[in-house]
Structure 1
Amino acid sequence: MVRVVEQLGFEFAVEPRRLTKVSPARLATFADCPRRYRLNYVDRPTPVRTGPWAHSTLGAVVHNALRALFDLEPERRTPERAAALVSEHWQDAGFENAEQAARYRARAKAWVMEYVEHNDVSPTPIGLERWVSAPVNPEPGRPPSMIIEGRADRIDERDGELVIIDYKTGKREPDEYEARSSQALAMYAVAAARTLRRPCHRVELHHLPTGAIAAAEHTGESLRRHLTRAEETAEDLRVATDTLTAGGDGEVLFPAEPGIRCSWCDFRPSCPAGQQAGPAKKPWELLAP
């Protein structure tokens, strides 16, 4: 049988002594704001953060309910059971009051019920919240230059190939471009192929509020482009972190990137630059109306 790594065209050789481990979340954080990366992943003890956000609570509840649903036997994966699982996993953290939380709890129940009604949920996934990891190099034939890792919401198997599925609960309906351009999905596809030893090219975004599914089929070349971009960011954050450890200036090595996101940044209480960028959002203001 042809090896998955040969099908994808990536090199998974014996790794060198020192490789940078990166996840989609770490790379995205550093690319958006190096200061936030330092506050989250480097500084210890971890600086003061904001409290919980209602939109994050909502997303986590839906993710947990769907994970629990697929842990059941196929015949028990009913719309009613999906709605009950939302109630079982529900939390009010970040909502303005109990009335608002109840409205969004009902909305989340409707989302998962419709999802089960309109999608085939009988096949059992290969992975649920599955951790995948792989040493890789974007250039074929070269020793690994980094270790990519992360936790995929769901990994299905269709016709002998893996499919990466990511749940979305935000305001905006995703499209094919978003699925194709997602660095996270591409990294999960490469790491899942390595971890589970099966080819993986298809990635999907499942938007619960609308029921839309945005899908993309990657090629070896498109996956390599994502890995190349990830490698560039990984090298930047490695150099910054190593220089800081050697006594470098953290303010210079991890500069703040003030912008609109500072209004809801988790580390706003610990970042004067972010506080000056604009007024803080209330914990429930990022919920869809």
Structure 2
Amino acid sequence: MVEQLGFEFAVQPRRLTKVSPARLATFADCPRRYRLTYLDRPTPVRTGPWAHSTLGAVVHNALRALFELPPERRTPIRAAQLLSEHWQDAGFADAEQAAVYRDRAKTWIMEYVEHNDVSTTPIGLERWVSAPVNPDPGKPPSMIIEGRADRIDERGDELVVIDYKTGKRAPDEYEARSSQALAMYAVAAARTLRKPCHRVELHHLPTGTIAAAEHTGESLRRHLARAEETAEDLRVATDTLSAGGDGEVLFPANVGTRCSWCDFRPSCAEGQTAGPAAKSWELLAP
């Protein structure tokens, strides 16, 4: 059961920082982007849509719709049809480029269905999971981890967390094992669904690669400890800002090449000086 992981899920204190993998990654990557995304209201001016994000969302939505069908209807042809039904052109250079990637994505999803067992219905699709946790066993919860997992399978007596990828590079076991997001989903899924969860998988649609890792209680605790450190820095900065602190100082811009494709580039003077703005389709796999 969940207790086998060695985490404490006792009654939570009054003020626990809620963190998701996306929030932690954003703050660690660039505190300024975190403030612009989650704290500043009204939300500052953003760039337009990115083609690689559109492509990823379409594939995710098509796979979710596929697994919502009865097993006998989960065929490669139906998968391609669902891809077309969910398709969007946002962020692509033009209709011609969008059509090329639509056809590629159809091939990806058809081959995925053909070469993988899709007959078992997942226990969770885009499932929201949450858990109050503390990396130190026996201590009261220090934060709440939460987020939406792409897919959660039930295999035997355990759960498996699956994340779909459509990026340029095929993942490997190291990437699956080092993913803080997957580790957090595993812990939160175990708490939410009351079953052990140690295995995490990255499914790369363009290459058909499945990168898997088996976590131990200790490896999950290490991920939670790193998440707790970031969560504490985030909490202190947020509370100080609320008390009247200087947002420019508390949430500094982490300037680098990433600024070229940051969603909030139009609202960040420092980011604009880092280099030219990327075109909305430049991060697509060639």
Range into which the TM-score falls when normalised by the shorter chain: over 0.9
Q: CA deviation at 1:116?
A: 0.2
Name the residue aligned to 1:124. 121
Name the residue aligned to 1:139. 136
Q: CA deviation at 1:189?
A: 0.1
Q: Secondary structure at the match of 2:273?
A: helix
Query: Alpha carbon RMSD of aligned pairs, Å?
Result: 0.4
Q: Secondary structure at the match of 1:261?
A: helix
Give the letter for the 2:116 counterpart: N
Whole-Å Cα distance in 2 between the matches of residues 125 and 214 of structure 1? Answer: 18
Q: Secondary structure at the match of 1:128?
A: strand
Q: CA deviation at 1:159?
A: 1.2
Correspondences of 1:169-208 after superposition (within 5 Å): 169-208=166-205
Name the residue aligned to 2:64. 67
Q: CA deviation at 1:167?
A: 0.2
Whole-Å Cα distance in 2 between the matches of residues 247 and 217 of structure 1? Answer: 45
Name the residue aligned to 1:22. 19
Give the letter for the 2:75 counterpart: T
Q: CA deviation at 1:98?
A: 0.4
Whole-Å Cα distance in 1 between the matches of residues 285 and 6 of structure 2? Answer: 41
Flag structure 1 segments of 5+ consecutive residues without an equivalent.
none
Name the residue aligned to 1:45. 42
Q: Secondary structure at the match of 2:23?
A: helix
Structure 1, residues 149-184: CA drift from partner, whole Å, max 9, x if none? 000000001111000000000000000000000000
Name the residue aligned to 2:33. 36
Whole-Å Cα distance in 2 between the matches of residues 251 and 283 of structure 1? Answer: 27
- 2:268 aligned to 249, 263, 271, which one? 271
- 1:103 aligned to 84, 100, 121, which one? 100
Whole-Å Cα distance in 2 between the matches of residues 245 and 174 of structure 1? Answer: 40
Give the letter for the 1:244 counterpart: L
- 2:248 aligned to 251, 263, 278, which one? 251
Whole-Å Cα distance in 1 between the matches of residues 43 and 225 of structure 2? Answer: 30
- 1:225 aligned to 210, 222, 240, which one? 222
Whole-Å Cα distance in 2 between the matches of residues 115 and 229 of structure 1? Answer: 34
Structure 1, residues 36-80: CA drift from partner, whole Å, max 9, x if none? 000000101110000000000000000000000000000000000
Whole-Å Cα distance in 2 between the matches of residues 148 and 17 of structure 1? Answer: 15
Whole-Å Cα distance in 1 between the matches of residues 36 and 95 of structure 2? Answer: 32
Q: Secondary structure at the match of 1:52?
A: coil
Q: CA deviation at 1:10?
A: 0.2
Matched, 1:156 2:153: yes
Identity fraction in percent: 88
Whole-Å Cα distance in 1 between the matches of residues 243 and 177 of structure 2? Answer: 39
Name the residue aligned to 1:213. 210
Q: Secondary structure at the match of 2:132?
A: strand
Structure 1, residues 71-129: CA drift from partner, whole Å, max 9, x if none? 00000000000000000000000000000000000000000000000000000000000
Name the residue aligned to 1:261. 258
Whole-Å Cα distance in 1 between the matches of residues 82 and 271 of structure 2? Answer: 37
Name the residue aligned to 1:9. 6
TM-score w.r.t. length of structure 1: 0.99
Q: CA deviation at 1:227?
A: 0.2
Give the letter for the 2:269 counterpart: P
Whole-Å Cα distance in 2 between the matches of residues 251 and 129 of structure 1? Answer: 35
Instruction: Give the ranges of 4+ consecutive aligned residues of structure 1 lying more than 4 Å apart after TM superposition.
Output: none
Structure 1, residues 180-210: CA drift from partner, whole Å, max 9, x if none? 0000000000000000000000000000000
